[in-house]
Amino acid sequence: MIRSIDTLLVPIPTIREHKLACTVMREQVLVLVHIQTEDGFAGWGEATTIGGLSYAEESPHSIKTNIDTYFTPLLLKEQPSSTAKAMQLLSLHITGNRFAKCAIETALLDIEGQRLGIPVSELLGGRVRDAIEVAWTLASGDTATDIAEAKEMVAQKRHRIFKLKIGSNPILDDVAHVLAIKKAVPECRISVDVNQAWTELEAMQGISLLEAGGVDLIEQPISMRNRAGLKRLKDRFDVAIMADEIVQDPQNAFHLASEHCADVFAVKINQAGGLKAACLIGQMAHLAGIELYGGTMLEGPIGTAASVHVFATYPSLNFDTEMFGPLLLTEDILVRPLDYNNFGLTVPTGAGLGIEVDTDKVYYYAKRSNITLPTMSQPNAKSGKFATES
């Protein structure tokens, strides 16, 4: 039985400004869910989004409010006997709230994996890869800074795939910025993320120039509402066109796949509504002949670990991932950081998510966010993590 569910807002500064077409980030507010059971297990989930309400319809504060007000009372009252029944219960009574549902499902799967002694990836069908390659986003906004950063990443064997955030400047300025970086690191794969900033006509101009300059991937160049336009761009250009914001829950992804609106799907566990939903989207894309890319909402290490458990199960992942969120933060909330090495990230092998959260640090940062929290009590006997008064 579920003993308690705590939802924590944990703000952590970023190592530098992270500029997108829709916002500029200087800190990331992690939304963490901590579920404890009567038999002594503790699971963690994450529902992090980008830039408050500038990117998605759920914000850190709305996620916490909805989980505390609607999700928690329902789960504590009904006490579903499995993760699947819990998610069915939430779907029956709560509309939308994909990010919040993802966090709850992640924490429950973490507990389920711990109880069975197996990694979450095995609960999702089984991993076919033990490590994933990770792209790095160059988002300082300055060409010389981005080139220096890219070269340093390659030299350190941290990243050799780079994504550039564009769309907030005139098209020719953005293209010049991207192509200068491509020229400086010609051996590296370069993609751009427009974050829906262009009109369809602007996209035709921008993509034509980027394709001629050797850019490898164009992510969500136009509005997510213009599905037909995205397909027209995919059919017009040889460079791969990737759908991102437009890829949401499995039903939405099914229509995109059936109409083959993009060459590549960026799959994000929060945007999909959970780990199992993200697996389903990956399966549909694979069956439709659409390539896959492991996307991020710039989650911290909990959401990142959950994501790589999903991506490790994909039959193909030819466009790799961008699971660099923890590397963008100035603080780590795990006892042992995730294992980034040789241009990639090792998929955790321990039971559940395979990570150990530094509970003291999480609650310390959460208290600094001025959110009222439960009172801390003694460490849980089985998990070694702190329990809370419910």
Instruction: Calculate the dihedral angle through the C-alpha atoms of 180, 182, 186, 188, rounding to the nearest 10 degrees.
Output: 150
Instruction: Calculate the dihedral angle through the C-alpha atoms of 97, 100, 105, 107, rounding to the nearest 10 degrees.
Output: 180
Output the six-digit token pair for 1.
Answer: 């039985």
Instruction: Tell me how far the alpha carbon of residue 160 is from its chain's centroid.
Output: 20
Asked if 309 and 348 count as a contact pair (C-beta separation under 8 A), the reply is yes
List the Cα angle 42/47/53 in 5-degree steps. Answer: 155
Spatial separation of the C-alpha atoms in residues 252 and 66, rounded to whole Å: 23
Active-site position among 64, 165, 234, 268? 165
The alpha helices in the chain, defined as continuous H runs, are 60-66, 72-78, 83-93, 98-116, 120-123, 143-155, 171-184, 200-212, 227-236, 250-258, 269-272, 275-288, 301-311, 359-368
Output the six-digit token pair for 154.
Answer: 């390659």
User: Coil, helix or strand for 219?
Assistant: strand
Q: Is 34 exposed, middle or buried (0-12, 13-18, 19+ CB in 10 A)?
A: buried
Name the DSSP letter for residue 328: G
Q: Output Rg (C-alpha) for the chain, integer angstroms.
A: 20
User: Coil, helix or strand for 182?
Assistant: helix
C-alpha distances in Å from residue 225, one per residue of 97, 129, 204, 228, 348 = 19, 34, 17, 9, 37
Spatial separation of the C-alpha atoms in residues 236 and 239, rounded to whole Å: 9
Spatial separation of the C-alpha atoms in residues 356 and 193, rounded to whole Å: 33
Spatial separation of the C-alpha atoms in residues 197 and 263, rounded to whole Å: 19
Spatial separation of the C-alpha atoms in residues 10 and 343, rounded to whole Å: 28
Is 182 among the residues known to form the active site?
Answer: no
Asked if 357 and 106 count as a contact pair (C-beta separation under 8 A), the reply is no
Give me the active site residues, please: 165
